[in-house]
Chains A and B, each alone.
Chain A
Amino acid sequence: MMAISSPKGSGVGSPKAPTLPLPSPKAPPGYPDLYGKRREISRLHMLEREISFLEEELKSSEGFQPASRCCKEIDDFVMAKADPLLPTKKKKSRSSRFWKWLCCTPCSTLCSCLCCCCCCEPRCCDGCSKHLSLPSCSCCQHLRQCSCCKCVTPKSNCCRGSNSGCCKGSCGCQNCCIPPSCKCLSCCSCKCSCSCTCPTCPKLPQSCCCIKSCWSPCCCC
């Protein structure tokens, strides 16, 4: 191979160091391309394995039942099992109580229901019995606006001392104002609870209602 002149940047014209031949691409070595062959063998193995799996499946498919029998099994299973999310007749069961909890917290002293339609049972308005006489609730139209006040009775029974605007449709009345501790101007604005009688706020008269919100302490009214 002829010596080639020095590559760029190597001090061209330097007569002292002998120039080495530049590396040049060579033909691939003559030994077998085992990597390529091994890869082909591996792929062939995988194919042959897939073939044996399919042959097995084809053989077993001779014993498969038709789809209609599978459908019948599904139908029988579904119809036999109770489902709390389905709107069907069912016997009351323990598990059904949980969904009531989840959808509807029982009326506490705040007498609020989270889901009106769940409240449509007397039990829901039990806590409101102090100021309401509720043989039953009817379904409230607005979800999470259910107020026991709304659930049946004439408004005058619901919010004594309040105006007739109390407990209308979207009224978020959380607790009907209970005399004599609170005097509600309007249930809608007065989410009144017994926090009105706040011992730490001696300046506030006993009958003072928290106007803004019962979530605020009396002192912040």
Chain B
Amino acid sequence: MSLSQPKMSVAELKERHLAATETLNNLKQRLNQTRRSLLDTDIAGYARSQGKSAVTFGPTDLVCCRTLQGHTGKVYSLDWTSERNRIVSASQDGRLIVWNALTRQKIHAIKLPCAWVMTTAFSPTGQSVACGGLDSVCSIFNLNSTTDKDGNLPVSRMLSGHKGYISSCQYVPDEDTHLITGSGDQTCVLWDITTGLKTSVFGGEFQSGHTADVLSISINGSNSRIFASGSCDATARLWDTRVASRAVRTFHGHEGDVNSVKFFPDGNRFGTGSDDGTCRLFDIRTGHQLQVYCQKHSDNDIPPVTSIAFSISGRLLFAGYTNGDCYVWDTLLAKVVLNLGSLQDSHEGRISCLGLAADGSALCTGSWDTNLKIWAFGGHRRVV
């Protein structure tokens, strides 16, 4: 039907609309039935059938080795460098801090043009950091720049164009010149940092995409053309940067905002964390929901998941919650094997962000208590 041929009346259009809706619902039902028939097991069921037992941690196996103190406001986001020992953190005290994780030294303290920052990311080479927030702009800082007369690092590029807040950002792996952002305007954007222009827009008014705020994105480490997004519309979507007009696949299942998405280390799955208190693992090729990670609480009040991260093998899923818990899930057995929130020197507030070091040797958590903490294996390791 063409817009230049408005011969059909509005009433007829509404009738067609109803018919199309019914067709759509029937197709969804058929697709769900097909999916259900293929869901012959979940990961925990499979692992149990193989006789697997859950990971067990001793009392001092995973310990807090460092506390990074310096922010005066809630920490909202963090990211490690590829070279593994520097971290950038963003706080609503209006600063980014670049830390040496080993020494706890603050290498840079960057005053931001807008204090309401929500996300930050390190470039693959570690030369730049990006951040964004309620100003709807993604700001890039070159860490090698000369500071201005006030001692502040200047903004080297501003990526403007989103019509809503920037909730998440990540550099495309191995490309300091490209970055993807997720936004409250329901879109994700691939940017060319050199020109400051949008390369592609994923979703939005005229394209098939999220129908509510995008809260999180994760780029596939095995194939950087593929990324996943999580949204307030309770879905996660998979995108191919070569095809911006529509999502490759939409993943249903969650019953609340999808606050965090993270690719599984093998690149063929991704995890999600949601306001419904569960984490889920989805297969990108089939769309199967392979596992739900849900911890029952005695008071039936399940705290929302704010952020997730996988260990380098994928055996462990770290999930931060609004009540300060940080569960360590055995991804194969779908059991909580440790709660970092109950350990000595744990955070005193909500865990807002998590990140694993590039070599998988440490986990950094950021919290509304203004601190970051680094957790690493502190136990005995029998050497073969």
Interface residue ranges, A against B (CB under 8 Å): 32-34, 36-38, 40-41, 43-51, 53-55, 57-58, 61-62, 64-68, 70-75, 77-78, 81-87, 89-92, 95-96, 98-99, 101-105, 114-118, 120, 139, 143
Contacts and interface: CB of A to CB of B under 8 A. Distances in A.
B301 interface: no
Interface residue SS majority, chain B: loop
Given A74-B290, A83-B311, 5 more contacts: A57-B287, A74-B269, A86-B377, A87-B55, A103-B376
A44 B315 contact: no
Given A68-B41, A75-B47, A34 B6 contact: yes
B102 to A, nearest CB: 6
Contacts, number: 228
B174 interface: no
B60 A89 contact: no
A190 B299 CA distance: 50
A111 to B, nearest CB: 18
Q: Which residue, of A38, A48, A57, A78, has the highest number of chain B Cβ atoms within 10 A?
A: A78
Nearest to B11: A40
Interface in B307-349: 311-316, 331-332, 344-345
A65 B286 contact: yes
B20 A86 contact: no
Contacts of A89: 381-384
Nearest to B356: A85
20 contacts: A40-B14, A44-B20, A53-B246, A54-B28, A55-B27, A58-B27, A61-B34, A61-B287, A66-B39, A67-B38, A67-B283, A70-B269, A83-B312, A85-B62, A85-B376, A87-B56, A89-B381, A92-B383, A104-B65, A118-B378
Contacts of A55: 27
Interface residue SS majority, chain A: helix
B163 interface: no
A77 B265 contact: yes
A180 B35 CA distance: 78
Interface stretch (B105-113, B132-140, B144-152, B358-366): B358-366
Q: Which of under 10, 10 to 19, 20 to 34, or 35 or more describes the interface residues of B?
A: 35 or more
Given A43-B17, A75-B50, A117-B63, A86 B42 contact: no
Given A68-B46, A102-B102, A32 B312 contact: no
A37 B9 CA distance: 8
Contacts of B55: 86-87
B41 A87 contact: no
Contacts of A32: 6
Contacts of A118: 378
Given A40-B17, A46-B208, A115-B65, A74 B266 contact: yes
Contact of A66 (B24, B40, B84): B40
B309 to A, nearest CB: 11
B363 A103 contact: no
Given A34-B6, A78-B313, A58 B1 contact: no
A75 B332 CA distance: 7
A117 B60 contact: yes
A153 B291 CA distance: 51
A66 B33 CA distance: 13
B99 to A, nearest CB: 12
Contacts of A72: 46
Given A67-B288, A73-B266, A44 B13 contact: yes
A78 B380 contact: no
B359 A95 contact: yes
B359 A115 contact: no
Interface string B14-46: 101100110110011011001100111111011
A86 B378 CA distance: 10
A73 B43 CA distance: 10
Nearest to A105: B102
B157 interface: no
A143 to B, nearest CB: 6
B17 A47 contact: yes
Nearest to B31: A58
Contacts of B255: none
Contacts of B357: 98, 102
B229 to A, nearest CB: 17
A70 B314 CA distance: 14
A47 B24 contact: yes
Q: Which residue, of A43, A45, A65, A118, has the highest number of chain B Cβ atoms within 10 A?
A: A118
Interface string B142-162: 000000000000000000000
B10 A37 contact: yes
Contacts of B287: 57, 61, 64
Nearest to A81: B313
Contacts of A116: 60
Nearest to B12: A40
Contacts of B40: 66-68
A215 to B, nearest CB: 16
Given A33-B10, A37-B6, A61 B35 contact: yes
A198 B363 CA distance: 41
Nearest to B61: A87
A177 B326 CA distance: 41
B46 A77 contact: no
B109 to A, nearest CB: 22
Contacts of B56: 87
Contacts of A143: 60, 63, 344-345, 378
